[in-house]
Amino acid sequence: MTIPLLMQKLLFTLGLVLFACCVFSQKPRQPLSGDLVIFHAGSLSVPMRDISVAFTKLHPEVNILLESAGSVESARKITDLNKSCDILASADYTVIDNMLIPKYADWNIKFVSNEMCIVFTEKSRYASQINAKNWFEILQKKDVAYGRADPNSDPCGYRSVMTMQLAEKFYNKPGLANLLMAKDQNYMRPKEVDLIAVLESQSIDYIFLYKSVAIQHNLKYLELPSEVNLKDPKLTDLYNTAVVSINGREPGQKVLIKGEPMIYGVTMINTAPNKPVAIAFLQFMLSKERGIKILEKDGQPSVIPQPNPNFDKIPESLKPYAIK
């Protein structure tokens, strides 16, 4: 009986020795470090800043460089200007699908939604009178000025036009979209957040803007009917009837974009200089208890997980945020 017991003790001791050898022979994990360059939609400026601050508290050796622009313009920085970045987060997931995959990126994760609304201040003309039944009449008044983003630079721009087209159908007002598009074109800006200062200076009275941006900047906003605001996935067929033509990559080329429920997308660029940090940041950003919690606080509800045609190409650590 003593021999087996002795053997057991010897085997146990040997196991501890082998375990210790394995543990101490492993190289210590290197902390994440270096620059992380993120191109992102203007409507993500506030949450991206907050997420970056939270991430760098955990990884102080990472330096996050945020660059805000319209999503189409951000993609063109990569495709046309050959600018280097690690991550692109777009206000319209189709920008990534159509402009970056497969040459510049392999996959695209849909992560939050939004909706179009009419944003104003207490000092806007007719602020006390505007409602969901008369907003398009107020915007047409001669003493009222409104702003919108440029459709060729920013999804908020072409979504503003889609909102006008859908409003024409919903309110049964033939010609409404053309009337609205023809007015106040001098107040068009490259991205929607550029208009906030113009609104607050009282140079304009209203903006076609995302609800999340209004929430983040404590602005008043008018919610629009679901048939108009591009929010409801159940109304996809209706939204598809709104079509906007924007400039393509080549001079004179035009691209038609159909209306869809608003869904944001994010990807890592194939030539990302700092892929380990990019993946770690995306894990943090897409986590329900971390980045998504911040995004939802800032008015952008999560849509994770969504079906993904490029699921097999998504890094393993990010696959929990999509569906095959």
Instruction: Give yes or no for a contact between 322 and 314, defined as CB atoms under 8 angstroms apart.
Output: yes
Does any domain span residue 145?
Answer: yes
Q: Are residues 140 and 241 in the same domain?
A: yes
Examine the fold and report which residue of 209, 242, 258 is the final residue of a domain before the chain moves on. 258
Q: What would the pLDDT profile of 230-278 be if each residue is shown by its tens digit?
A: 999 999 999 999 999 998 777 778 889 999 999 999 999 999 999 999 9
Reported confidence tier of residue 29, pLDDT bands at 50, 70, 90: low
State the residue range of the domain holding 89: 34-113+263-323
Q: Are residues 80 and 179 in the same domain?
A: no
Q: Are residues 183 and 171 in the same domain?
A: yes
Q: Are residues 251 and 140 in the same domain?
A: yes
* pLDDT given at position 236: 96
Does any domain span residue 224?
Answer: yes
Q: Are residues 146 and 184 in the same domain?
A: yes
**β-bridge pairing 188-189 and 146-149:** parallel
The total domain count for the chain is 2
The Cβ-side half-sphere exposure at 152, using a 13 Å CA radius, reads 11
Q: Please return the burial class of 278, using the count of CB atoms within 10 Å of its CB with bins 0-12, 13-18 and 19+.
A: buried
Average pLDDT over residues 46-63: 97
Degrees to nearest 5, angle at CA 293 with 292 and 296: 80
Q: Are residues 222 and 141 in the same domain?
A: yes
Cα separation, 214 vs 235, in Å, equals 24
pLDDT at 294 over 50: yes
CATH of residue 156's domain is 3.40.190.10
Q: Are residues 95 and 168 in the same domain?
A: no
Q: Are residues 161 and 211 in the same domain?
A: yes
Examine the fold and report which residue of 258, 276, 301 is the final residue of a domain before the chain moves on. 258
Q: Are residues 46 and 61 in the same domain?
A: yes
The residues near 140 (Cβ < 8 Å, ≥ 6 apart) are 179, 180, 183
Predicted model pTM: 0.85
Q: Which of 33-37, 181-185, 199-203, 253-257 has the lowest mean pLDDT?
A: 253-257
Q: Are residues 127 and 243 in the same domain?
A: yes
Examine the fold and report which residue of 229, 258, 287 is the final residue of a domain before the chain moves on. 258
pLDDT at 171 over 50: yes
Q: Are residues 122 and 69 in the same domain?
A: no
Average pLDDT over residues 163-179: 98
Does any domain span residue 14?
Answer: no
Q: Are residues 165 and 145 in the same domain?
A: yes
